[in-house]
Amino acid sequence: MCAMKAEKPEVRLWEGLTRSDLISLDACTRCGQCIPYCPIQEASGQRDISPPEKITMFRQLLSSQRGARAVLFGQRPLDREKLQKLSDALYHCTVCGVCGEYCEVGINCMRLWPDMRHKMVELGVGPFGPQKDTPKTTWEFKNPYGQPHSERLAFLPPDVHVEKAAENGFYVGCSGAYPSKPMVAGAVRVLQAAGVPFTILDDEWCCGFPLWVVGVHDKVEQFVRHNVDEFVRRGVKRLITSCPCCTTMITGNWPRYYGKELPFEVVHTTEVVADALRRGKLKIREYRKKITYHDPCLLARGPREVIRPPREVLEYVPGLELVEMERHGRLSKCCGAGGGIRRANFKMSIDMANIVITDGDKLGVDEMLIDCPACFERMHLAQQQPDHPSDLPILDLMDVISRLV
Ligand code: SF4
Ligand code: SF4
């Protein structure tokens, strides 16, 4: 459990939450429809941290400050024990957003949970456990992994040419740059094969997602401004993303921190590659395999909703047979890498990864293709643990395609 800090008395529970957050918090009927689909519930069965429980805890705390009792008998100070319990529940979440997909009243959980986490930070009860180091590490190293900034572009294959300035910018992202290099190495190779010239920042910083998602927002604007200004300096008109977290952060949050619309379009790598295939600019060699494709939460349910483009790319691979996961597209399961949970609760995140891998294995496929560096890192780590349930090969989509062009 987190150590308690002194409450800042001026911060009130509802202040800073959006109208939509407050309406959502009021709207939950406690129907429980979302519970069976929550990966945390599937992995742990801890009902006291389920979506309706988090909302109920919040409502109870709110009624002590703003309800009829508070009006009649005066506002009571927040119950610190209950607040801590709420905070712990909020941080035991991958922010995968699938609860919102199944929610009968349409709560936008992908937005609600991070906003509530930010509130917990303001109240001195967040982030959770090792997540507390994330802001300092990310600021110091410009990535949340604490890896040397000077090695950010070490993934670049020597045969790939990067322009000094170009209309297309490629945003690498920290997970691709460090633990999941095959994904971005594959992406830049495929872009080159498709005849798409692009530039990459020598001094690219984290997109700010790890800070935003744990609720520590103070330095996010500096990360956003640095990256946007650098891409503008290089003449970028279209920014090509790879990582789903970066894609969500850039499309959903960068304009807010930048203070206006971004001065460039944002597209995902698979959209660019699908377009090149459609226009006959790229040919893919035969790959005689039966595969399944795992939709990353933030690509499928994020603001850009990239579901069709990776499938379109796969349709252009001669000999390839795609078998869909039982839950795919907007309903896909989280692999346990998101929301900072991999730092906060290692076992829980590994259990979630094993559930997704096992679901894929049951389909009798040769491989599972994924399109997310966080999934890549988590699933491979899960397969390195003793007694892991499946050795199904987990490969990155662009890594595979790059070997076929
Ligand atoms: S966002 Fe995902 S992990 Fe979090 S409560 Fe909803 S379903 Fe569970
Ligand atoms: S499905 Fe929606 S309304 Fe029902 S318990 Fe879950 S969050 Fe509440």
pLDDT digits (tens, 9 = 90+) for 204-239: 999 999 999 999 999 999 999 999 999 999 999 999
Going from the Cα of 93 to the center of ligand 1, the distance in angstroms, rounded, reads 5
Residue nearest to atom 6 of ligand 2 (CA): 34
Decide: 160 and 193 in contact? Cβ < 8 Å: no
pLDDT digits (tens, 9 = 90+) for 45-71: 999 999 999 999 999 998 888 777 777
What is the distance in A from the centroid of ligand 2 to the CA of 55? 9
31 Cβ below 6 A of ligand 2: yes
CATH number of 19-126: 1.10.1060
Q: State how far the Cα of 376 lies from the Cα of 371, in Å rounded to an integer.
A: 8
Q: What whole-number distance in Å separates Cα of residue 338 and Cα of residue 248?
A: 12
Q: Is 151 exposed, middle or buried (CB count within 10 Å of its CB: 0-12, 13-18, 19+)?
A: exposed
Establish whether residue 104 lines the binding site of ligand 2, counting it when its CB lies within 6 angstroms of any ligand atom: yes
**Closest residue by CA, ligand 1 atom 2:** 96
At the topology level of CATH, where does 141-275 sit?
A: Rossmann fold (3.40.50)
Domain boundaries, the chain: 19-126, 141-275, 284-402
Judge whether residue 117 has pLDDT over 90. Answer: yes
Say whether 169 sits in a helix, a strand or coil: strand
| Helix/strand/coil for 353 | helix
Query: How far is it, in rounded angstroms, from Cα 101 to Cα 128?
Result: 26
- So what's the pLDDT on residue 10? 54
Can you read off the two tokens belonging to residue 257? 């921190």
What distance in angstroms lies between residue 98's CA and the mean position of ligand 2's atoms? 11
The secondary structure of 301-328, three-state, reads: CCCCCCCHHHHHHHHCCCCCEECCCCCC
The residue among 397, 376, 342 whose CA lies nearest residue 210 is 342
Task: Give the separation between CA 178 and CA 282, rounded to whole angstroms.
Answer: 28
Indicate which residue's Cα is closest to atom 2 of ligand 2. Answer: 103
CATH class (in words) of the domain with range 284-402: alpha beta
Task: Specify the long-range contacts of residues 73-81, CB closer than 8 Å, at least 24 apart.
Answer: 77/7, 78/7, 78/13, 78/123, 80/4, 80/7, 80/125
- For residue 99, how far is its CA from the centre of ligand 1 (angstroms)? 6
Query: pLDDT per residue over 329-368, tens digit each?
Result: 999 999 999 888 888 889 999 999 999 999 999 999 999 9
- Cis status of the peptide bond prior to 127, with omega within 30 of 0: yes
pLDDT of residue 1: 42
* Residue whose CA is at the smallest distance from ligand 2 atom 3: 28
- List the structure tokens of 364: 């009798």
Q: Which atom of ligand 2 is nearest to the CA of 102?
A: 1
What is the C-alpha to C-alpha distance for residues 43 and 122, in angstroms, rounded to an integer?
30
Distance between CA atoms of residues 242 and 393, nearest Å: 21
Ligand 1 contacts CB of residue 94 (under 6 A): yes
**Ligand with minimal distance to 327 CA:** 1
β partners of residue 290: 321
Residues contacting residue 142 through CB under 8 Å, at least 6 positions apart: 149, 152, 204, 205, 206, 223
Check for a shared fold between 19-126 and 141-275: no
Say whether pTM exceeds 0.85. yes
* 6 pLDDT tier (thresholds 50, 70, 90): very low
